[in-house]
Amino acid sequence: MAEAINFKKLFEPRSIAVVGVSSDITKGASGFLNSLITLGFPGAIYPVNNKLNEVLGLETYPSVSSIPHPVDYAIIGVPAAAVPGVVDDCACKGVPFVQIFTSGFEELGTAEGTALQQRIKEKGKGRTRIIGPNCMGIYHPNARIGFEPEQSVRPGDVGFISQSGGLAMNFVDRSVSEKIFVSKLISIGNACDLCLTDFLNYFRQDPETQVIGTYLEGLQQNEHRKFFFLARAVTQTKPLVMWKPGYTEAGARAARSHTGSMVGTYRIWRSMSTQTGIIMVQSMEELVDVISIYVRSPLPKGLQVSIVAYGGGANVTATDACTSQGLKLPILEPEIQQKMLAFIPEAGTFRGNPVDVTGWVTSPRIAGGVSLLAACDPQIHALIFILDIDFIFKQCNRLNLDQERLLGGHSKSLLRIKEETGKPVVCVLQKTGDVLALEDARLKAKNRFLDIGIPCFPDIARAAKALVHLNAYRLYRDHSRFKPLETAGSRIA
């Protein structure tokens, strides 16, 4: 495996030039400038514009080469036709890394666009490394570098590589609300020079990064073989979760016009994932769910789960949702079911699996006691505990119960089960009414569970899917016989 490129000056630059700033801080290069200032980037920032003297209180320079200090990283937001000249100027100045925000290159699908991209590539070759064009560059909270002024500066251990700038922004927002935080993120856009494998190889060795996510429309032409062996090496120690769009014909067409990517046959990608241990997902939610469960759970030893919930119909439909994702619900051992009768009565409840604790779900002691018994069954590899937010909310109002205390009790008992059994324990916080008061209750509960290390999902199907992915990854690591989750995509393309 090749040594990773030394990205120190990219991720920890002493100085950044922002080329093409204007007085409108909401647009283009000025948006980057505003973000760096707002996030508190501690190094030097040099705005470049040949008409203005000052932007956002900073002295501007007419060109990068006219900056009388070293520049480690340049962000370029000038119109497409002017980009080759700026890259050349950066190269002359000795800037090691440039990022091109500007679009209007190969993604246009025109001869002109392709030629222009080729020109910037040639301008940089051997002199300065290029990220993009048509991208948002890097987000590195630890260095206070980002591309939106609202981005979090809390560092984490999740690396992310995205071919879409918009989805890179979405990932940052989403990860913050799931309380999983980013080590470093790179939006690579058209990837004319630095590409997925360069950053993947870096993440493989980066001690800050424990799990890697990626949104990838397509690899570069010469990158496939390298990617295959690199992915195999990465997944030995860190999960690689990949959202690969374009699994339908129309989606593939849309990808071509977005980043000029040839997406390849989805079937080939699935086959590659089997051989490399990559976890393939099909949405932002699924991607974040897998990362959230991985960072908070031991790897499950199999697919057999127990569900503990309230309500007959809810349990029937939860069982369908679980098993259609590939999980199994063995009937709990008779002595386990017998022991549950110390907590719940025989009539009205059900103890076989799924376990219906009925209205006792409002008692953390009872629901927790039953759940621990279910999780202790040697057949069971993971526990799924379902809380119906609508019911909890109504019952707390009707019976004047302290909702915070109730949820605190549940979170503690689930943590205890996780610790005592060493098995994954997940919580489904589902709600039916689509109203703000319930969402407020759900979010408060969710944050409480996430804070103590219990992964949370808004519905059973997503919890089940995340567990299936986690088990597939465990299987690959244990035996190198990875069984990817069968999803809709495999039936298409």
Nearest distance from C-beta of residue 27 to a second copy, angstroms: 9
**106 near a second copy, judged by CB under 8 A:** no
Q: What's 187's DSSP letter? A: E
- Indicate whether 321 belongs to the interface with a second copy (CB under 8 A): yes
Question: Using the rule CB under 8 A, is 283 a contact of a second copy?
Answer: yes
334 binds a second copy (CB under 8 A): no
Of 88-96, 118-126, 145-153, 294-302, the window that binds a second copy (rule: CB under 8 A) is 145-153
Q: Cα–Cα distances in Å, from 246 out to 190, 259, 262, 387, 451?
A: 16, 12, 9, 35, 35
328, 412, 416, 483: residue in contact with a second copy (rule CB under 8 A): 328
Binding residue for a second copy (CB under 8 A) from 147, 181, 215, 343? Answer: 215
Residue 236 beta carbon to a second copy: minimum distance, rounded to whole angstroms:
29
In the complex, minimum distance from the CB of residue 232 to a second copy, in angstroms, rounded to a whole number = 26
398 binds a second copy (CB under 8 A): yes
446 binds a second copy (CB under 8 A): yes
Q: Contacts with a second copy in 418-437 (CB under 8 A)?
A: 432-436
Supply the minimum distance, in Å, between the C-beta of residue 321 and a second copy. 8
Min dist. Cβ of residue 481 to a second copy (A) = 23
Q: Are 46 and 69 in contact (CB under 8 A)?
A: yes
407's tokens = 């949820």
In this structure, the number of other CB atoms found within 10 A of the CB of residue 257 comes to: 11
Interface with a second copy includes 342 (CB under 8 A)?
no
- Binding flag, residue 402, a second copy (CB under 8 A): no
Distance of alpha carbon 158 from the chain centroid: 8
Figure out which of the listed residues 63, 114, 142, 319 binds a second copy, where binding follows CB under 8 A.
319
Pick 73 or 393: Cβ nearer a second copy? 393
**Member of 3, 313, 378, 479 binding a second copy (CB under 8 A):** 313
Q: Which of 259, 273, 276, 306 binds a second copy (CB under 8 A)?
A: 259
Q: Which of 84, 141, 239, 311 binds a second copy (CB under 8 A)?
A: 311
Q: Does 440 bind a second copy (CB under 8 A)?
A: yes
Query: By CB under 8 A, is residue 439 in contact with a second copy?
Result: yes
Q: Which of 22, 163, 197, 235 forms a contact with a second copy (CB under 8 A)?
A: 163
Residue from the set 233, 284, 299, 415 that interacts with a second copy by CB under 8 A = 284
Residue choice 57, 207, 347, 378 for contact with a second copy (CB under 8 A):
347
Judged by CB under 8 A, does residue 469 bind a second copy? no
Residue 103 C-beta: closest distance to a second copy, Å = 5
CA distance 186 to 281: 19
Distance CA 44, CA 69 (A): 9
Instruction: Give 65 or 282: the residue with its C-beta nearer to a second copy.
Output: 282
What gap in Å lies between CA 61 and CA 49, rounded to an integer?
6
Contacts (Cβ under 8 Å, ≥6 apart) of 70? 14, 15, 94
Q: Is 324 in the site for a second copy (CB under 8 A)?
A: yes
Q: What is the 3-state secondary structure (H, E, C) of 454-486?
A: CCEECCHHHHHHHHHHHHHHHHHHHHCCCCCCC
Cβ nearer to a second copy, comparing 114 with 323 = 323
Residue among 287, 294, 309 at smallest CA distance from 185: 287
Pick the piece of the chain touching a second copy (CB under 8 A) from 10-18, 280-288, 370-378, 406-414.
280-288
Residue labelled with tokens 């036709």:
81
Residues 15-74 binding a second copy (CB under 8 A) are 26
> 70 or 104: whose CB is closer to a second copy?
104
- For residues 201 and 347, give the distance between their C-alpha atoms in angstroms, rounded to a whole number: 58
Residue 168 in 3-state DSSP? helix
List the one residue out of 121, 87, 120, 116 whose CA is nearest residue 104.
Answer: 116
The verdict on 394 binding a second copy (CB under 8 A) reads: yes
Q: In the numeric block, which tokens belong to residue 55?
A: 């932007």
Closest CB to a second copy among residues 68, 111: 111
- With beta carbons less than 8 A apart as the criterion, state whether 210 and 158 touch: yes
Does 258 interact with a second copy (rule: CB under 8 A)? yes
Query: Restricting to residues 168-187, which ones interact with a second copy according to CB under 8 A?
Result: 169-171, 173-174, 176-178
